[in-house]
Amino acid sequence: MTTDNTIFACSKENADHAYVFPWQNVAHLLSERARQTPDKSAIVYRDLDAGERSEITYAELYRRTGEIALRLRSDFGIGPGDRVAMALPNCPEIQLLTLALFRLGATSVPLDLTKDVPERKRYKIEDSGARFLCVRPDFPKEEADLLSGVRIVSTDDLMDPGNGTPANEVDAEPDWAQDEATRQHANIILYTSGTTGQPKGVLLTRQSIVSNADGIIRWLGFTENERLALMLPFHHVNSTVFAVTMLMVGGTMVLKSRYSVSNFWPVMESERATAASVVPTIMRDLLARVDEFPPENYDLSNLKKIMIGSAPVPAGAACRFYDRFGIRLVQGYGTTEVSLRVTGVPPDLPDEEYREVLAQNAAGVELGNNNISIHGSPEEGELGEIRVRGPVVSGGYLNQPEATADVFRDGWFYTGDIGFWREISGRRYYFVHGRKKEILIKGGVNISPIAVENALVESFPEIASAYVIGRDHERWGEDICAVVIFKESVSVSEHKAIAERILQAGSDGGIRNLSAYESPSEVIPFQAGGLPMTSTGKVQRGALRTLVNNGIRPSIS
């Protein structure tokens, strides 16, 4: 990627930031890719259910997004500022439609296809003011009936070839370099997964998306030779922004229809993937089933790194993954409100330093186009709220001025995460201690649920995963409850005895890295399917606490 005309200004001392997109707009980027590498694969699609593979070259990407933009404008009246909702799985259509909307100066609103019940879909459509909902032809009729009053358009009605109008004559998107208002226009509205109440629509602006993508590119050293495997859904910021990085460097996105543990390594091998992006759930799955799918059975020589984040990463499991697979897990930190990643572990560290950073569970160093600060705690190791500033910060929440003003203030976004910084080999690394609203306060002492969870999983090999929540306590205010998922190899008859052993070890101060005071006073075996989770594998602790407090404990029986 040529960056001679890209301006960066991001320093600890100066709150001013600038990032100038090296192209006039997205249409210009696509046309340049089509001109320079017309026959190169922009998207490789792997439909894991149908067992099919297809490709879209850069020339086809430019032409087809132009044709779809024309159809959107001429047949549906979509223009600058309009919004279109999408209830689509991972498929080429979601990328084609999103880029066509970009070219029109319009906005995409991707929905969670599986976890958004019809009522939640309706809320997002109405809240965003979407002109219509785009679905695949096989969208369930019974669900469409429940969305009465919502205009539903099939992808078949959008993806047919246009009337021959050249792709460069359908764009309505202004030149970003000339128009600050255009840079701050919301390209995508992503709804966060709230634990209570309705979700908030985050306004990802053109500036926030591409500046974050640029920071990721420089962090990971992406080039035109990258073949990045994406499997997380596009209603999540992860795949959304990582896909943009591939367009910006002229690489190839290997788009999988869904995540599958049995197909994970075979697809990496056959597509010669150089990198992938996952969440901790996938890491745990690959470790748990390593005997079924040993890495020795596959040629993974092209796969240099796997980015991981979006939920707490257990340090012990991450170290075991690296030891077993020999592929670096590259942890990063960010939120939807900052357009994905604002810190990241350098992927090219010397092995000894990398292992130290991995073992300490560092979230990484500050990336380009943003500043990180621990609010009110400037000293090394002191806890405080993590805040972010810079062009990566989104435009706030849609239709929620009070919620926006609460966390977007004084030029910073206040993440709600508690963290600290620590020097490692002369560099400042950041660490996440836990959510501000999820930190347990027992007798006035702050306790990180993540720290307790990691200690339990590392000390008791029978535990597959643990989730710590607070329980009301007359004396302490809050006490510690651990919801545990046992490994499949552990029989149900053993659950109670192991839970009692955990409690006894905790009261004796016998759990490594935990004092007796920090150890759980209650251990509840749960069935994994009973956990309230987001579509990217993040457990919603608030919802879990409500389940437990209401006596709902779906254990295996």
pLDDT digits (tens, 9 = 90+) for 453-468: 989 999 999 999 999 9
User: Which amino acid, one-letter code, is at 266?
Assistant: P
pLDDT surpassing 70 at residue 178:
no
Distance CA 533, CA 555 (A): 16
DSSP 50-63: TTEEEEEEHHHHHH
User: How large a percentage of the chain has pLDDT more than 70?
Assistant: 92
Q: Which range, of 17-26, 103-112, 164-173, 420-429, averages the lowest pLDDT?
A: 164-173
Q: Which residues pair with 362 in a beta bridge?
A: none
Residue 513's pLDDT band (cuts 50, 70, 90)? confident
CB 520 within 8 A of CB 480: yes
DSSP string, 202-266: EEEEHHHHHHHHHHHHHHHT--TT-EEEE-S-TTSHHHHHHHHHHHHHT-EEEEESS--HHHHHH
Question: Nearest to residue 523, comparing CAs of 538, 542, 541, 505?
Answer: 505
Average pLDDT on 271-292 reads 93
Task: For residues 194-205, give the mean pLDDT.
Answer: 78
CA distances from residue 79 to 84, 173, 407 in whole angstroms, order as listed: 10, 9, 31
For the residues 413-419, what does the mean pLDDT come to? 94
The yes-or-no verdict on residue 509 having pLDDT over 60 is: yes
Domains 26-371 and 439-549 share a fold: no
Instruction: Give me the pLDDT at residue 556, please.
Output: 54
Residue partners of 7: CB distance under 8 A and separation at least 6:
18, 19, 20
- Residue 159 CA to residue 64 CA, distance in Å, equals 8
- Cα distances from 29 to residues 206, 426, 448, in angstroms, run 13, 38, 44
545 or 165, higher pLDDT: 545
Give me the helices (H) in 86-196, please.
92-104, 118-128, 141-146, 156-159, 180-183
Contact 67, 161 (CB under 8 A): yes
Please report, for the chain, the start and end positions of each structural domain, with discontinuous segments joined by +.
26-371, 439-549
The residue type found at 475 is R
Mean pLDDT for the stretch of residues 160-187: 69
Biggest CA–CA distance in the chain, Å, is: 76
Domain boundaries 439-549, corresponding CATH code: 3.30.300.30
State which fold the 26-371 domain adopts: Rossmann fold (3.40.50)
How confident is the model at residue 279, as a pLDDT? 87
Q: What is the pLDDT of residues 529-544, one digit of tens each?
A: 888 877 666 788 878 8
Q: Lowest-confidence range among 71-85, 316-330, 331-345, 433-447?
A: 433-447
Per-residue pLDDT, averaged over 127-135, amounts to: 98
Given pLDDT bands bounded at 50, 70 and 90, which one contains residue 163? low
Give the helix/strand (H/E) hosting 356.
helix 351-359
